[in-house]
Structure formats: C-alpha cells, structure tokens
Structure 1
Amino acid sequence: MDGISIAAQSREARKDRAVYFCVDAKFFPYALFVADQIATKYPQRDFDLCLISATPLPEHPLMAKHDIRVVQIDAAAWGSRLPADDRISFAAYLRIMAPDLLAADYRRMLYLDADVFYQRGDLNRLLSLDLGGRAVGAVRDMVQLRKPDRVPEDFRPFDLPFGKYFNSGVLLIDVAAWNAQSVTQRALDFAAQNALKLMAHDQTALNVTLRDNWAELSLVWNYEYSHQTMYYMGFFDVCFVHFIGRRKPFNQSYGGFARRFTEEYRSFFAQHMPQLQAQDGLQIASQKRKHLYAILFTLINVGRFLPNDDRFASDWQVL
C-alpha cells in the first residue's frame, strides 16, 4: 500500500502466524508484559510474537529471550491524516496496516492491545479458527453486550443503522480475506476522510468498513474489564482480560484491580522494569465508595449482561 513500508526489523518471520502488538514507547512496557505472559504461560506456541511501531522501541533482554520480532513501520505519509490524541496514539492505526504490510509473512494474525492480560486459552487453536471466509473475528463491544440492539454512537454521524459492533482491542485476522477485501486501504481512507467524526478512532473506521461482515467470538477472548463488568467476571472463564478506559492496573491509583492482576504486574516490573510501579490490590479502605458504586451498577444490569453466558456453547463457537 502506498505510503507504508517496513523501515527496519529485528529478524524475518519464522512462522506463518503471529500474535502482534502495535505500540509507541509509552505502551511498550505493557505490551512486553503481555508478550512475556504468553511466552511463559503458553510455551507450546507455534506463532511469532511481534512488536510493531512507527518509531524505534527501547532494547530489552526479554525481546531476545522470547525471540520477539520487532518491526518498525514507516507510515509518516499518514501521520497528519489520521486523528490521534493523548490516549489513542497514531500507533493504534498500525494494527490496520500490519496485515497488508506483512501479508507475505503471515496467513493468520492475532492483534492484542497492550492493556490486555492473558489468563489462559489455546492460542494455536484460536489462530486456526474457521471464520467462515470473513476477514476478522472479534468480540462485541461493551455497548452491545449490555444492550444488544443498541446502535453504536459512533455510527450516528454517518447515518448508519444498527449493525453488530466489535471492540478492536483483540482482532483475529484472516490475512488473505483481509487483503482480498482491501480492508487496510478502505479503513485508512475512511479514517482520513472522516477524521473529525471518528469517535473511537481506528475502532470506528474498522467497524464501518467491516459492518455486518465480521465473525463474532465469545467474550472470553476479549473481556472488557471496568467498574461495569468487574463483578460479573467470575461467571466467565476468561482468556484475555482487557482493561478498557483510562483506568489501568499499571498507571493510576484506583482500587478496581484485584491482587491477582496487580501482583503479576508488580512482579514483572520489579524484575524487568524497576522504574515502573503497579497498583496494589483493591484498596477497599480508600476506594470504598467506588466499589459500592460498581456493585450498584452490577445489580442494576444483571439482566442485561449475564445472558451473554448463554450465547456461546464453547470458546470456539463463531457467530
């Protein structure tokens, strides 16, 4: 695709499938944390781990230890055309560019946001999942997990009617189908042409481009964790926990993250990045009001959220 090329890479592809992260220096430590989780908890992996960026990333011993492929993309021609802000940087659009740019290397790609937490799951099998010819497998966004018939707010500026709407933090990509449908070109062109209307940046562009043409996966593959869902999580055998929103277990003082999350971050940072710190458990004493609010929200929405437990018979069902 014009205006996008590989500027540098640490090595060539070794496998024909990849789990990849698209980050800048700010989110590099957290992507490395997830890559380390996968490499450690899932040693039988038959795929490359890739870090993709638009600027050089710091060196770190874990990158060699886990044989992580680092790819720097030159996409400067798109830099001024695509909207970004302090929370969602230009790196978010690299997830859209990668399947086109690395088509000769990979037939299947699994994109993960850097604020994802890996708990379990057969990732080799996930990367082989039959998507029925569709380019992307993804999980419905929270706006429709509670209200399945809701028209997404970011469809309204384009006068679009209802359509199933996914969260772009976890994307299972059939590379051949993606490129046959010119998803990269279409999504980036849409984002550039409608920069002032995009409410969710790359997520809006992808959902409009793939409207009603994507495979729905079980929410266990992208469980959006926030005050709205944290108390429901025990009902689901979650594979990837996704810490959506501005509150993260690694960057704010907020008691919304149990010790089983925070201790993995704290241990990782202490060993590999001592300059960083994570939160310390639920902090009930100081955050009691926030927990009471979350519990109240949970009680009010029981009838909206828990029916999701019946929508998929297994991790591997695709709708």
Structure 2
Amino acid sequence: MEKINILVTLDKSYIKPLKVMLLSLKETNVDYRFSIWLLHDSIPETEINHFRGFTDKLDYDFHPLKIDATYWQTAPTLKQYPTEMYYRLLCAEYLPADLERIIYLDPDTLILNPIEALWSIDLKGNMIAAASHLGLTGINQTINNVRLRTKSEYFNSGVMLLDLSKMRVKVNKSDILDLIRNHANELLLPDQDILNYLYGNQILSIPEEIWNFDTRDNIVHFAKSRGQVDTNWVIANTSILHFCGRPKPWDKHSINRFTILYQHYQRMLELNYK
C-alpha cells in the first residue's frame, strides 16, 4: 500500500495539538499508511524521541528534519505565526528529492473523514491544491486582491496538497526573501500572503467545506448552503476541520461549536497515549 506523506512545521508548543490531529487522522483513515515529516528548528532531541514513541504506537513512519533558521531571521513573525511557518514554503528544498507530493496540515486541524481523495487529486498542471475561506459575501477575497494586487483567489495555507517536483523548479528562496525585504510591513499573514502573492496563479482551488472547513464560519456555511451544511453534514462529509483564529479548542474559554469534538480526541489521547 502506498504511504501518504504528511508535512507539519511547528515548534514545541504545538506538539500536543499535533498529537491530537494525528490521532484523529489514525482513527478516520484506518485503511491507509502514513509517513509524517516534521520540519522544525528548535525542538529538543528528548522531545523528538518522546514524540517518536507516539508515532510508533500509531504505526506511522516519522521523519524529523531540523532546519537552519538563519535564513529567516529578518522575516516578519508574530507570536501566533512563528518562524516555522515559512518552512512549508521551501519544504521541497528540505525534503528528500524522491518525494513527489505531500499534504501539509496545520496542527490546529482535526481529521473527520478519509483524506485519500485529496492525496490522489489531479492537480491539472498546478503546483498546489488549497481552499479559500470566502465568507458569506466574498468581501475578504476582494480586500486581499486589492491589498496584494492579485487577481486569483486568496488561499488558506493551513491545508495544502503540494507537488514537490514542481515546487523544486518554481519556488525560489531569493524570490521569497526579496518579497519579505521589500514588503514586510504589508504582510498581515506573512507566509500565507507570500504564498498568494508569488504562487496564487499556480494553485488549484478545492472545496473549503470538504478540505479546510474554518470552524469560525459554521453559520456562514449553513446560510450559503440554505441549511444543508449543518453539523450532521459536516460529520459525514467534511474531511478536515480547521480551528483558525483564537481561542483554540484546547483553550479553556473556547465556545466553538466543534470544541466538544476536539476535546473528545484530546481525551482519547490522554487516556490511551500517555
């Protein structure tokens, strides 16, 4: 059976959410095998080894790769957007040359249904597949087009299928660093803005309701679908929930409709994977 490659980029503060995400992936994708690739620059070796014990229990292959963060010292970062977010942009440079495609997942996602259909999607010549969070009116799309002087959809970088072969040819480190130097003050969501500015016209749009359901937009999806996309529909059809923004579902004050579902997997982790 072909293994599905999963990419994550994070620091040690997101290790527990990553475990929850990977546990949900295991529970809802029992017929598939996975290789987990972790790009980081500062997670201690002791924590890496402990995490390997967890992936072994899930029967995942685990490949941690430590990145030299020097290149990104001048890049704009925020508390909620650490340096590691840039690594997904250049992941084709860091990952082995024989890897051809990989699914990138933010650690604040939850996997509800199989993701093989995303893995095997026809990219139709594009470099990336990703979803846009359009909202009820699409006004945010218009704002981002004006802000970044782009014409394509504004894509969320939290869930992406990446064609690594094409990225090795088309994604250039100097282009990214030049954009950062020249437009750092304009980058509101740094790596996501860079992705859309430089590569937006090479991204295949995929349905957000299936592959990158922003849990903040539950009412929006319900309204746009005239009541079809309710909680029952999400449980049966959505493959990837994305807990964008704050508070996160592991925070005490989270009131998100899907927090209880996240806490279910979090409790499973605590009970069975100490």
TM-score (norm 2): 0.82
RMSD: 2.6
Match of 2:226 in 1: none
- Matched letter for residue 130 of structure 2: A
Which residue of 110, 115, 121 corresponds with 1:117? 110
Which residue of 197, 213, 222 corresponds with 1:223? 213
Q: Distance in 1 between matches of 2:181 and 2:113?
A: 37
Match of 2:30 in 1: 43
Q: 1:15 to 1:194 in 2, by over 3 A?
A: farther
Whether 1:261 aligns to 2:262 is yes
Q: Distance in 2 between matches of 1:26 and 1:253?
A: 19
Which residue of 15, 24, 39 corresponds with 2:11? 24
SS in 2 for 1:109: strand
Match of 1:97 in 2: 90
Question: Could you tell me how far 1:173 is from its partner in structure 2?
Answer: 0.6
Cα deviations by residue, 1:43-102 (Å, 9 ceiling, x for unpaired): 332441222211125123212223342323323222312111111111111111212221
Cα deviations by residue, 1:8-41 (Å, 9 ceiling, x for unpaired): xxxxxx9775111111001111112212222333
**1:21·1:113 contact (CA, 8 Å) conserved in 2?**
yes
Match of 1:239 in 2: 239
- Matched letter for residue 62 of structure 2: R
Q: Distance in 1 between matches of 2:252 and 2:181?
A: 32
Q: Distance in 1 between matches of 2:261 and 2:218?
A: 19
Q: Distance in 2 between matches of 1:150 and 1:223?
A: 16
**1:55·1:72 contact (CA, 8 Å) conserved in 2?**
no
Q: Distance in 1 between matches of 2:151 and 2:211?
A: 23
SS in 2 for 1:247: coil
Match of 1:279 in 2: none
**1:46·1:124 contact (CA, 8 Å) conserved in 2?**
no
- Matched letter for residue 182 of structure 1: V
Question: Could you tell me how far 1:103 is from its partner in structure 2?
Answer: 4.7
Cα deviations by residue, 1:182-231 (Å, 9 ceiling, x for unpaired): 25553344234322210111100000011332100111100011165487
**1:154·1:198 contact (CA, 8 Å) conserved in 2?**
no
SS in 1 for 2:65: strand
Q: Distance in 1 between matches of 2:98 and 2:270?
A: 32
Whether 1:83 aligns to 2:73 is no
**Percent identity between the aligned chains?**
18
Cα deviations by residue, 1:93-151 (Å, 9 ceiling, x for unpaired): 11112122215131011000000000002x3332121111110000012xx24234654
Q: Distance in 2 between matches of 1:46 and 1:267?
A: 21
SS in 1 for 2:167: helix
Aligned length: 256
Q: 1:97 to 1:71 in 2, by over 3 A?
A: farther
Match of 1:147 in 2: 137
Q: Unaligned regions of 5+ residues in structure 1, if any? A: 1-13, 274-319
**1:188·1:205 contact (CA, 8 Å) conserved in 2?**
no
SS in 2 for 1:117: strand
Whether 1:196 aligns to 2:197 is no
Whether 1:180 aligns to 2:172 is no
Q: Distance in 1 between matches of 2:19 and 2:142?
A: 32
**1:35·1:49 contact (CA, 8 Å) conserved in 2?**
no
Q: Distance in 2 between matches of 1:181 and 1:138?
A: 17
Higher helix share: 2
Q: Distance in 2 between matches of 1:252 and 1:78?
A: 36
Whether 1:64 aligns to 2:53 is no
Q: 1:152 to 1:22 in 2, by over 3 A?
A: farther
> Which of 1 and 2 has higher RCO (CA within 8 Å, sep 6+)?
2
SS in 2 for 1:99: helix
SS in 1 for 2:89: helix
